[in-house]
Amino acid sequence: MGAVTLDVADLGLMTRFYRDGVGLEIVSADAGGIVTLGRGTVPLVHLRHRAQLKHAGPSEAGLFHTAVLFPDQASLATAIASVVNIFPASFTGSADHLVSEAFYFDDPEGNGVELYFDHPQESWLRTGGQIQMDTLPLDPRGFLESHFDESVRGTNAHTPVTIGHVHLSVGSIDQARDFYINQLGFSQTFAWHGQALFVAAGGYHHHLAMNTWRSRGAGIRQPTLGIGIIEIAIPGIDGKGAVSERLTHFGHTIRESSEGFDVDDPWGNTVRIIGKD
Residue 34 has pLDDT above 90, yes or no: yes
Per-residue pLDDT at 240 = 87
116/25 Cα distance (integer angstroms): 18
156: pLDDT strictly greater than 80: no
Q: What value does the mean pLDDT take over residues 15-39? A: 95
Question: What domains appear along the chain, each with residue ranges and CATH number?
Answer: 4-276 (3.10.180.10)
Please give the pLDDT value at position 158.
65
Band of pLDDT at residue 266, cut at 50, 70 and 90: very high
Write the CA distances from 194 to 48, 198, 275, integer angstroms.
34, 11, 32
Q: What percent of the chain has pLDDT over 70?
A: 96
Residues contacting 152, CB < 8 A, separation 6+:
74, 78
**Model pLDDT, residue 129:** 85
CA–CA distances in Å: residue 260 to residues 4, 31, 159, 263, 275: 15, 23, 28, 10, 7
Task: Look over the chain and give the mean of its residue pLDDT values, rounded to a whole number.
Answer: 94
* Confidence class for position 179, pLDDT limits 50, 70, 90: very high
